[in-house]
């Protein structure tokens, strides 16, 4: 298995001159190919949480045609336009994840955490912690969690964004020019909070990278410092139960 430095160098070697999201999809697909190769090409069972229209699944399938792919998203309408998609789709809540224990070799997600919103920001952070505990439950022993998320530098920035989107939702406001959409409330974690949750759920982080998000498409990123949090975690379970071994 690659060490942290090797993973980081390998990850950067696959950076592509395409859009940020597409570049991440390419990187994720190559990561999974690497994991499959390390397991003598054994077909992996992969879950994409918050799969939307299945774009990430398409990239993964193109590079790993023998893997079993399952996508879960709360919005079934997005998937209806993908009838030609061979992968399986489950309509469900990311906080429930209706799968049996020890089901998946790899779990991936992209920009999901800030949608796990509670009544306030504190309960939103708790939702994310519960989300990771549930992920560990459905992971097989010696499996992987690969994700990329937006985060803030400071809690106060997260609070500002939470309450702006909360009030706009209550008032029925929609200001797409600054990425405020009616009925959509978001709650970003700081990168320190994500670090803490990962340590509490005892996942062995093979690598983590935090980088400044320079994408100008979201006005909050201009007004408030935003980060990109990229992580590959390895899940090792003791005796096949649902609790990770401390690393």
pLDDT tens digits, one per residue of 12-40: 444 443 445 677 788 888 888 888 888 87
| pLDDT tens per residue across span 181-239 | 667 788 899 988 998 898 887 666 666 666 655 554 454 555 666 778 888 888 877 55
Residue 84 lies in a domain: yes
Residue 118 lies in a domain: yes
pLDDT for position 80: 62
Residue 44 lies in a domain: yes
CA atoms of 209 and 229, how far apart (whole Å): 6
Domain tally for the chain?
1
- Binned at pLDDT 50, 70 and 90, residue 180 comes out as low
Residue 200 lies in a domain: yes
Are β-strands 204-212 and 226-235 bridged in parallel, bridged antiparallel, or unpaired? Answer: antiparallel
Residue 71 lies in a domain: yes
Residue entry with tokens 């800030």: 114
SS3 70: strand
| pLDDT tens per residue across span 57-111 | 888 988 888 899 999 988 776 666 555 554 588 888 999 999 999 999 999 999 8
Residue 169 lies in a domain: no
pLDDT for position 2: 41
pLDDT for position 79: 63
- What is the mean predicted confidence (pLDDT) over 44-56? 90
Helical segments of the chain, H only = 4-13, 20-38, 55-63, 76-80, 121-138, 155-171, 191-200, 219-223
DSSP tag of 48: E
Q: Using an 8 Å Cβ cutoff, are 22 and 16 in contact?
A: yes
Residue 32 lies in a domain: yes
What are the tokens at 110?
Answer: 């992209």
Residue 127 has pLDDT above 60, yes or no: yes
Which pTM does this prediction carry?
Answer: 0.81
Residue entry with tokens 């499959």: 36
The enclosing domain of 112 has a CATH number of 3.40.50.150
Closest by alpha carbon to 152, among 229, 231, 225, 211?
A: 225
Residue 69 lies in a domain: yes
Q: Which range marks the domain in which residue 9 is found? A: 4-148+188-212+230-235
């Amino acid at each position: 298995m690659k060490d942290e430095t090797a993973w980081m160098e390998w990850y950067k070697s696959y950076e592509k001159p395409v859009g940020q999201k597409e570049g991440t999809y390419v990187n994720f697909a190559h990561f999974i190919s690497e994991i499959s190769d390390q397991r003598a090409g054994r077909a992996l069972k992969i879950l994409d949480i918050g799969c939307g229209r299945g774009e990430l699944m398409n990239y993964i399938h193109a590079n790993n045609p023998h893997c079993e792919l399952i996508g879960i998203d709360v919005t079934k309408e997005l998937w209806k336009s993908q009838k030609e998609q061979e992968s399986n789709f489950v309509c469900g809540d990311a906080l429930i994840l209706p799968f049996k224990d020890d089901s998946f070799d790899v779990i991936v997600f992209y920009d999901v955490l800030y949608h796990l919103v509670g009544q306030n920001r504190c309960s939103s952070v708790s939702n994310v912690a519960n989300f990771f505990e549930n992920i560990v439950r459905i992971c097989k022993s010696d499996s992987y969690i690969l994700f990329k998320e937006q985060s803030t530098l400071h809690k106060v920035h997260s609070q500002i964004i939470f309450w702006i989107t909360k009030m706009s939702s209550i008032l029925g406001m929609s200001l797409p020019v600054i990425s405020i959409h009616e009925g959509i409330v978001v709650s970003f974690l700081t990168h320190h909070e994500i670090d803490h949750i990962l340590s509490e759920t005892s996942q062995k982080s093979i690598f983590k990278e935090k980088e400044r998000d320079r994408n100008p498409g979201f006005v909050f990123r201009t007004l408030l410092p935003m980060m990109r949090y990229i992580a590959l975690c390895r899940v090792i379970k003791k005796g096949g139960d649902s609790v990770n071994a401390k690393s």
